[in-house]
Structure 1
Amino acid sequence: MANTTQSAKRARQNEKRFAINKARRSRIRTYIRKVEEAIASGDKAAATAALKTAQPELMRGVTKGVFHKNTASRKMSRLSARVKALG
């Protein structure tokens, strides 16, 4: 338990921030899953559309501090390569 008012406030802020980041991370993972499902189905048009909607979400996660920039870039690069490989 927090001993000072300052540490109590910091604990409350951490809880709030954790919930927000958790929701953001979950939202981004959902977008990524939609791209992967479209790739698995073999529908290139759907996969391309899903990737186009997932990219800004991933980069928004970077600006909000949920993901590291290189992590998001790596995920986008791998997903786009898989979409491109669909024939």
Structure 2
Amino acid sequence: MTVALMWEARAVAGKGEELLAWVTRQPLDPAPLRRETFRAPEDRVLVITWWDGAYDADGLPELPEPGEALVRRAVHRWRFETVADEG
């Protein structure tokens, strides 16, 4: 089964590029099957990582909190499991 971890943060006003640079430097060990990073208006950054494992698997590496100097609020995190492969 594949599980996807979603990490979303909203940067302090004007620090969207700094948050994007910070998140792209964060390593995950072990590396995920796939990792994609996105940005959106209002200085939002989203990272989705894909892992081989169960939805409730323990020990999957998670991206850390960037700290109050970079984000307006705590990071939002969600887990999803694959239900169909449409590709």
Query: Which TM-score band (shorter chain)?
Result: under 0.3
Which TM-score applies when normalising by structure 2?
Answer: 0.27
Give the number of the structure whose residues are more often strand, by fraction. 2
Higher RCO, 1 or 2 (CA under 8 Å, sep at least 6)? Answer: 2
